[in-house]
């Protein structure tokens, strides 16, 4: 699987997939820049009257519910429906679905009208969607991760999709296969949007890799490795410097280095 992950990173650089992002305004700039550093092309198209036409051009769609406005919601549903008709991969980040009932309703509507390739959320969000008790503080998970393997597997199997839960150790499952991605750094918790950026990378990876399980593992491994490299250069007491170094690390990450540094195991 390490070699498959390295190949995904190479394919993103070679093909420059166009990733449409309907995402939250807190992290929209970082999401765009991390995609550029990864080798993809970001497009922040979220106007209801534009998304269906634009779906013809995209390689993948990333939907993030972080600061969900009424227009974003309508645009996300229309974009997801059209992307599904065209066979384009969709990554959904159900931000704060464990804390706000409206978000859960939007998730259900998206699942009803489209084919979601990957659901990427933090531990609390994924456990909430799976029907487990997940601990949330607003949009952040304060969950210790107990039961997350079963939650990912059961949710993936029930929805026939790939589920990726981010945390101290990331978990990816398609219901049949499950892996742990152990790369990362505690500094991610001090930078707003690290989860949003990881979701965008998952969309870029899904654009070039038809196996959503491999694509998600590759994206989370790349994000984790880049975080480790950025932390090594910035130091534990410099989250601002870390944020800048993170973009540099993603930009400089090669498939060969990812294969060497990747800590991933099937469970």
- Decide: helix, strand or coil at residue 15: helix
Q: Is the dihedral of CA 248, 250, 253, 259 positive or negative?
A: positive
Domain ranges of the chain: 2-266
pLDDT in tens, the chain (267 residues): 899 999 999 999 999 999 999 999 999 999 999 999 999 999 999 999 999 999 999 999 999 999 999 999 999 999 999 999 999 999 999 999 988 999 999 999 999 999 999 999 999 999 999 998 654 444 444 445 689 999 999 999 999 999 999 999 999 999 999 999 999 999 999 999 999 999 999 999 999 999 999 999 999 999 999 999 999 999 888 999 999 999 999 999 999 999 999 999 999
Q: What's the pLDDT at 237?
A: 86
216: its two tokens: 């998600």
Q: Is the dihedral of CA 207, 56, 34, 28 positive or negative?
A: negative
Assess contact for 150 and 171: CB atoms under 8 A: no
Q: What's the pLDDT at 145?
A: 62
Annotation: CATH topology of 2-266 = 3.40.1190
* CA angle at 18 for the pair 14 and 21, rounded to the nearest 5°: 140
Report the distance separating Cα 169 and Cα 145, nearest Å: 9
What is the crossing angle of helices 2-15 and 212-234, to 10°? 90
Q: What's the pLDDT at 82?
A: 98
170: its two tokens: 């990331």
Q: What's the pLDDT at 122?
A: 95
Sort strands 162-166 and 170-173 into parallel, antiparallel or unpaired: antiparallel
Sort strands 18-22 and 60-64 into parallel, antiparallel or unpaired: parallel
8: its two tokens: 């995904």
The strand pairing partners of 62, in sequence order, are 21, 91
Report the distance separating Cα 36 and Cα 18, nearest Å: 10
Q: What's the pLDDT at 210?
A: 98
What is this structure's pTM? 0.94
């Amino acid at each position: 699987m390490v070699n498959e992950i390295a190949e995904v990173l190479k394919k993103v650089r070679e093909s420059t997939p166009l990733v449409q992002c309907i995402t939250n305004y807190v992290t929209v700039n970082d999401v765009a820049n991390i995609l550029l550093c990864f080798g993809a092309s970001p497009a922040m198209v979220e106007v209801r009257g534009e998304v269906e036409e634009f779906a013809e051009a995209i390689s993948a769609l990333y939907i993030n519910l972080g600061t969900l406005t009424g227009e974003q919601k309508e645009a996300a549903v229309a974009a997801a429906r059209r992307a599904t008709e065209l066979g384009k991969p969709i990554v959904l980040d159900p931000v704060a679905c464990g804390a706000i009932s409206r978000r859960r309703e939007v998730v259900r509507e998206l699942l009803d009208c489209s084919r979601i390739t990957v659901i990427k959320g933090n531990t609390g969000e994924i456990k909430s969607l799976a029907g487990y008790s997940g601990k949330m503080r607003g949009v952040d998970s304060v969950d210790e991760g107990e039961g997350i393997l079963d939650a990912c597997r059961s949710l993936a199997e029930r929805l026939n999709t790939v589920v990726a839960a981010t945390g101290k150790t990331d978990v990816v499952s398609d219901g049949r296969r499950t892996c742990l991605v152990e790369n990362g750094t505690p500094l991610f918790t001090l930078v707003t949007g690290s989860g949003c950026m990881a979701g965008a990378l998952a969309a870029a990876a899904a654009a070039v890799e038809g196996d959503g399980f491999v694509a998600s593992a590759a994206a989370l491994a790349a994000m984790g490795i880049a975080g480790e490299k950025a932390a090594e250069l910035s130091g534990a007491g410099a989250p601002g410097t870390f944020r800048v170094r993170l973009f540099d690390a993603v930009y400089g990450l090669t498939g060969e280095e990812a294969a060497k540094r990747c800590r991933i195991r099937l469970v």
